[in-house]
Structure 1
Amino acid sequence: MIQLLEEPRGVTYQQLISLAFSICDEFILVKRDQIELSGKGEEFLKEIKPYIKEIKKQDHWPGTQLFGLNADVYYLDCKDELQEILLTRADRLYAWMQPELLEDLCFYKNGEEWLITTAHEEMGSINTKESQDILKLREVEDIMMY
């Protein structure tokens, strides 16, 4: 497991998201029931709606466990159109928070967690043991990891 020490921003964020889309096949975003979306957040949700393949009511997702509360977890395939949306809607990894956006962007590779974020806590990690993934991560400009 490789931990991100500092929040990927700007070019580093763009390169990390592009890498995630090239390596992974699915990602999730979360809408918590107890936090209203702003107008910008509602607009974002409408923009991704055609690409949502499944919505599950859950009390947990990678990096988060709710107690007595639920959230809508949106499952989406890694498609070029969605990559462009993620790159234009945010310029840093921990910007994925309500009310402006959905929360806790996480990527999956073959059903396994690959990139996990908990945006409110500004925490993120990449889970991989594959040398090919690690080599590609080392090419991401200014990424701070161990």
Structure 2
Amino acid sequence: MLMITQDIKGKRYETLMDVLFKHCTHFAFVEDRRRMEIEEERLAYMDVLTEEVRWDLIERTIVSEWETTRLSGDTAYLYSFHMNYRTAQFLKEHGGSLFSWIHPELPEDLMFYAGDRCVLAVCSHEAFFVVDEALWGCLERVND
């Protein structure tokens, strides 16, 4: 995996979502419970935000670690969705860049999977992401 600290924005972000749509089975993002003032209200906000892709939700679980973060004693909600045309459009419409997925407007830390293998994981608030070298090479060829 390559670690990259430059944000992917605009047209390049949309192209990345198209590449991920073709290569990934599902994606996930995180809602950190430490950042929730009133948990029930934030979860209701998340329900409204994800209304258009609610049928694509695989599960919402409580976790203490994910691809880019390990919490000590705290937990977060991990939302997992099927990757398909509808969810790819959702990702394009709601985020203008990888690092724009950040609290409070959006959930954080997008992760994309090809089966059980993570091919891209973002740590929005730390402004970095890790990406599979082959997938990154595919994106680079598209942008040439």
2:86 to 78, 81, 97: 81
* 1:118 paired residue number: 123
Q: Rate the CA distance shift 1:122–1:5 in 2: closer, same or farther, 3 A.
A: closer
Output the TM-score relative to the length of structure 1: 0.84
TM-fit CA distance, 1:75:
0.9
**Could you say which residue in structure 2 is the equivalent of 1:66?**
71
How far apart are residue 61 of structure 1 and its match? 0.5
1:30 equivalent in structure 2? 30
What residue in structure 2 maps to residue 91 of structure 1? 96
Shift of 1:102: 1.1
Any idea what the Cα deviations from partners look like across 1:100-130, whole Å, max 9, x if unmatched?
11110110112111001000001101024x4
TM (normalized to structure 2)? 0.86
Q: SS at the partner of 2:91? A: helix
Q: Which residue of 1 aligns with 2:139?
A: 137
Matched letter for residue 55 of structure 1? R
CA distance in 1, matches of 2:60, 2:98: 22
Unaligned runs of 5+ in 1: none
- In the alignment, which of 49, 56, 64 is matched to residue 51 of structure 1? 56
Tell me the equivalent position of 1:16: 16
Letter of the structure 1 residue corresponding to residue 127 of structure 2: E
Give the counterpart letter for 1:81 in structure 2.
Answer: R
Q: Secondary structure at the match of 1:106?
A: strand
C-alpha displacement at 1:39, in angstroms?
8.7
Is this contact kept in 2: 1:41–1:100, CA < 8 A? no
For 2:104 and 2:88, the matched residues in 1 are separated by 21
Once the two structures are overlaid, the 10-residue window that deviates more, 43-52 or 80-89, is: 43-52
- Unaligned stretches of 5+ in structure 2? 37-41
Provide the aligned length of Structure 1 versus Structure 2: 139
Question: Would the aligned equivalents of 2:53 and 2:86 in 1 still touch at CA under 8 Å?
Answer: no
